Amino acid sequence: MDEWKLPWNGGCRCGQTRLQVSAPPLLTSVCHCIGCQRMTASAFSLSLSIPSEGFAVTAGEPVIGGLHGATRHYFCPHCMSWMFTRPEGMDQFVNVRSSMLDEYGWFVPFVEFWTQEGLPWAKTPAMYCYETQPEFVAFGKLIEEFSRYGPRPT
């Protein structure tokens, strides 16, 4: 039984850039940092951390946006939707913006990051909450917990 109902297809606002997820997420999260607030024009960003081998761009050619730094933020070149991020030094996964999926109503953040920069009213039901980012070693435990208790597509 595929409890994840993979693969998931998704795309940007205009539909010219499309993507596909074929591996279960390692984690679902939100980030309240000011950078994410600016790039989303909203209160926080939504992420599905997908193993790199389970992620593919299936149409269009995303371009780099954001800070153009070591962490690469990818956008649709036409509608400029922020679609996914390849974080610095972590090539093993891609953070896909959850609202790019065709069906993402099941998405619930398991972890939230950077709450110290968040808007005071911006609350989520995440089970784990960090004022900034946890130590790198903490991610192993979060990923293990998520594999047992994390949200699944309905």
Segment interacting with Zn ion (CB under 5 A) among 13-21, 46-54, 63-71, 93-101: 13-21
Residues binding Zn ion: number (CB under 5 A): 9
- Per CB under 5 A, 76 contacts Zn ion: yes
- Per CB under 5 A, 63 contacts Zn ion: no
In terms of Cα–Cα distance, which of 4, 9, 38 is closest to 114? 38
- Per CB under 5 A, 143 contacts Zn ion: no
Buried b or exposed e, range 84-121, using 16+ CB within 10 angstroms: bbbbeeeeebbbbbbbbbeebeebebbbbbbbebbeee
Exactly one of 33, 96, 100, 111 binds Zn ion (CB under 5 A); that residue is 33
- The secondary element (H helix, E strand) that includes residue 143 is helix 138-149
CB contact at 8 A, 107 and 28: yes
- Per CB under 5 A, 78 contacts Zn ion: yes
- Per CB under 5 A, 94 contacts Zn ion: no
Of 23 and 57, CB closest to Zn ion: 57
Segment interacting with Zn ion (CB under 5 A) among 46-54, 67-75, 76-84, 136-144: 76-84
Sheet architecture: strand order including 8-11: 8-11, 18-21, 55-59
Q: What are the residues binding Zn ion (CB under 5 A)?
A: 12, 14, 16, 31, 33, 36, 76, 78-79
